[in-house]
Structures are given as C-alpha cells and as structure tokens.
Chains A and B, each alone.
Chain A
Amino acid sequence: KNEVEQSPQNLTAQEGEFITINCSYSVGISALHWLQQHPGGGIVSLFMLSSGKKKHGRLIATINIQEKHSSLHITASHPRDSAVYICAVTGTASKLTFGTGTRLQVTL
C-alpha cells in the first residue's frame, strides 16, 4: 500500500463544475503539499498546509490531521485547470513522498 493515495486517478469535468480531489496518507507528516503539473511537464507548488484550510483564487485545500486526509477543491472549473494534481507529504528528514497524481480534464 502506498503511503500517499489519491483519488480519483482520472477526472473529467465540464467547465463550471466544482471539483474535488482527495488524498489520504498513512505516515506521520509535518506538512502536506498540493502540486500542479501541466502538460508541458513543469511542476509548481499550489499549497502547503499542516492544518485547517487554505484558499487561493478558485482553489481551496483542506486537511484533517486526525483522519490523515486532505482535499483539493476547484470552484468554477475552467479548461486551463486541466493538469495533473499531485499530493505529497513531508515526512522524516524533510523528504517528500508523492502520490501518483490525479489527471484532470476540464472540457467546454
């Protein structure tokens, strides 16, 4: 069993839909990260959180430490949100452990 599990693996949505991507982890962490990887391949950090909730524009990330679960929400989705979203956790020695990613396709 992977230490970081994401669901769903693939997601197709129509423009304007509310999207939720889930991440569960099984190890102790100091932080959880949501990353975005566009078709061009580059990876950028969207959020880093250790408790509660963070919001940036149409993106919202939440974490429940007791349940070892995080969600990434996208409101009013747009085709430019199409990307792979990766959950990662910071564990021992500040190393990152990554989920396998959720491929999101938003259509018109």
Chain B
Amino acid sequence: NAGVTQTPKFQVLKTGQSMTLQCAQDMNHNSMYWYRQDPGMGLRLIYYSASEGTTDKGEVPNGYNVSRLNKREFSLRLESAAPSQTSVYFCASRGSGAWLDKNIQYFGAGTRLSVL
C-alpha cells in the first residue's frame, strides 16, 4: 500500500529554471495538498484541491501553479524558480468518509528542492 508518493526526492535548480513536482495517492482521497517546510516555521499551505477539477490558493501561493490531473494526481509547478523557493515540499491527501478518515492527512516523503 503506497499511500502518497512524491517525485523527485531531491532536486537542484538554477534560478529561472522550471520544474514540476509530482504527487500521487492510491487511497481514493478527494482532497490533496501541497505544503512547504522551512527552518523555524511550521508547514505552510501552498495550494490545495478539495476534489478533482478544483484547486484553491493556500497561505503562500505566489510563484507556484498546480494541476489536479485526476483524482489520484496533484502536481506543483515552479515556472521560474527563485532561491526563496528553496525548501522541502510535502504533498498530502485526506479522505472524506467517516469522521476520523475525514480529518487525517497522509503525507508523502517530501521533495528537497534547492534553487541556486
């Protein structure tokens, strides 16, 4: 049971380059999330998708775009990477069934991104 799978695990970019972080979940969850984690700060929400075909901005959306390709996949794109986007990125998903399942988020292993 894979859960939430993120690729790549590590990436180094030069300023101005673009890349897409991939995320897929096999738990049939409706909601998916992208967070970034920076030293000394809690995880911050970049974008989320409450269901297939919908996306919404989170706390720190600037410089990012997302695509909810289907129910399983939610990708995060950096069109023109900047050093301020150096961070660890986490994808998560959440179900919408019974109350317990509705509130727990399941996280991927993270992508460590450095922008030089």
Closest to B90 in A: A43
CB neighbours of B112 from chain A (8 A): 41
Number of A-B contacts (CB under 8 A): 50
On chain A, the residues within 8 Å of B94 by CB distance are 94
Q: Which of B33-57 contact A (CB under 8 A)?
A: 33, 40-45, 48
Interface residues of A (CB under 8 A from B): 2, 4, 30-31, 33, 40-45, 48, 86, 88, 90, 94-101
B residues whose Cβ falls under 8 Å from a Cβ of A = 31, 33, 40-45, 48, 58, 88, 90, 94, 100, 102-110, 112
30 pairs across A/B with beta carbons < 8 Å? Answer: A2-B42, A30-B103, A31-B103, A33-B103, A33-B104, A40-B109, A41-B88, A41-B112, A42-B109, A42-B110, A43-B110, A45-B104, A45-B105, A45-B106, A48-B100, A48-B103, A48-B104, A86-B42, A86-B43, A88-B43, A90-B103, A94-B102, A94-B103, A95-B48, A96-B45, A96-B105, A97-B42, A98-B43, A100-B40, A101-B42
